[in-house]
């Protein structure tokens, strides 16, 4: 009876640990995407056209000096990014400690 109960507790702790780890990794990835997005690293991307479509919109052209100014800005990390990174790291470390 005790062995069955111990096995049940171990299975639940592993499930909780796996959930914590996946949620923690998801929070870290979301925070990193937000940081990259605010860093202006997506500036200057163009819409790809089909082979036969030679019509280009003038609104699509972005001056190169504007792209350079945006991409050379320092990377800023906001409050939400910091909270997501710290809480994600906390959950990942906690999940490792639960399994040990």
The pLDDT profile of the chain, 100 residues, written as one tens digit per residue, is 777 777 877 788 888 999 999 999 999 999 999 988 887 766 666 655 556 655 655 556 666 777 777 777 788 889 999 999 999 999 999 999 988 8
Please tell me the distance from the alpha carbon of residue 71 to that of residue 66, in angstroms, as a whole number: 9
Split into its structural domains, the chain has a count of 1
pTM for the whole structure: 0.71
Q: Which domain holds residue 85?
A: 2-99
Q: Identify the helix (H) or strand (E) that includes residue 38.
A: helix 2-38
């Amino acid at each position: 009876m005790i062995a069955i109960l111990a096995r049940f507790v171990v299975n639940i702790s592993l499930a909780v640990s796996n959930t914590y780890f996946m949620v923690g990794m998801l929070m870290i990835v979301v925070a990193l995407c937000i940081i990259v997005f605010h860093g202006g690293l997506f500036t200057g991307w163009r819409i790809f056209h089909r082979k036969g479509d030679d019509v280009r919109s003038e609104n699509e052209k972005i001056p190169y000096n504007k792209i350079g100014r945006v991409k050379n800005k320092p990377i800023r990390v906001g409050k939400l990014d910091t909270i997501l990174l710290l809480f994600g790291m906390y959950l990942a470390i906690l999940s490792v400690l639960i399994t040990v």
